[in-house]
A = this chain, B = another copy of it.
Amino acid sequence: MMSQQKQLVELQQRTNQLLDNLISSHPNTAPYLKKAINYSLTQGGKRLRPLLTYATCLGLGGNLESADPAAIAIECIHTYSLIHDDLPAMDDDSLRRGQPTCHIAFDEATAILAGDALQALAFETLATHDWFPGCTLSSSARLKQVQVLAQAAGMNGMVAGQSIDLCSVGKQLSLEQLEKMHHCKTGALIKASIHLGALASNQVDETTWQQLGQFADAVGLAFQIQDDILDIESDTETLGKTQGADIANDKPTYPAIMGLSQAKQKAQQLTDEALAILKPLGQAAAPLRQLALLIIQRNH
């Protein structure tokens, strides 16, 4: 257990280092833009999605180097989505990861552009062999990664979820509608993190692909419910973002629909479900198991 935690910290550091290298090695074409991108990418964060990518790849017998492009790409997409979600026209949030959001630290136009550039950077990262000489993945596996990531990020994935979310403010949602929204908004990218890791291992069969998808669905939903719970139970300092924002923005949440204690039960149940799905994968799934537990036990 201890050594697994150490491994996760090492993978977080690996991610941070790679992100640093990625930005610092880029030409300084538009200095203000680059500063905003760097600011947003290096505000810390749990690097949960890269961890899922690495854990899946390692579990399936792949090597770290081959998971690097996907780990970086998924974090670029995640960071871009945070920047755009925080914009005044969207959630209008001024605090993220304990720091001023991008449009506060810079300006609104630059925040829009930084998000746009990070999305392009994600795909450039997957497609540029030279940036990761240790990655031995074929072009065909990398192209499949582009497809998986683009699908998860786009109009039937993450962006759809955000649109449904915005269209739902102040409305009564059924549990089913709420789940559809989160399935897109956070679930799609979490599933992509795991599937990108599977592709990076270069040895995933169809059954495992499906099982990993089911695991991801359960973990993704548990993650979101935990997010909703923390918005009520935690405080702004621990969260690094404004506590109580969901309620203030009149957003539909699990605790609002089903009550707080039911929501907690549901999160635990989904975690159990996720762990059960991993069983057939045996020891290979140990890092993923650890991550699933971290997601439910986190306090920010």
The interface of chain A, by Cβ under 8 A from chain B, is 26-27, 29-30, 32-34, 37, 80, 84, 87, 89-90, 107-110, 112-113, 115-117, 119-121, 123-124, 126-128, 138-140, 142-144, 146-147, 149-151, 153-157, 159-164, 166-167, 184
Contact = CB atoms under 8 A, between A and B. Distances in A.
Q: Which of A27, A80, A90, A123 has the most CB of B within 10 A?
A: A123
Given A33-B159, A113-B166, A138-B139, 12 more contacts: A26-B155, A29-B155, A33-B155, A116-B116, A116-B153, A117-B159, A120-B159, A124-B154, A126-B146, A127-B146, A127-B150, A139-B143
A29 B184 contact: yes
The oligomer's copy count stands at 2
A123 B145 CA distance: 11
A184 B155 CA distance: 27
B123 A123 contact: yes
28 contacts: A29-B164, A29-B184, A30-B161, A30-B164, A32-B163, A33-B155, A34-B155, A84-B112, A84-B113, A89-B107, A89-B108, A90-B109, A90-B112, A112-B112, A113-B159, A113-B163, A116-B116, A120-B150, A120-B151, A120-B153, A123-B123, A123-B146, A124-B146, A124-B147, A126-B146, A128-B147, A138-B139, A139-B140
Contacts of A119: 116, 119-120
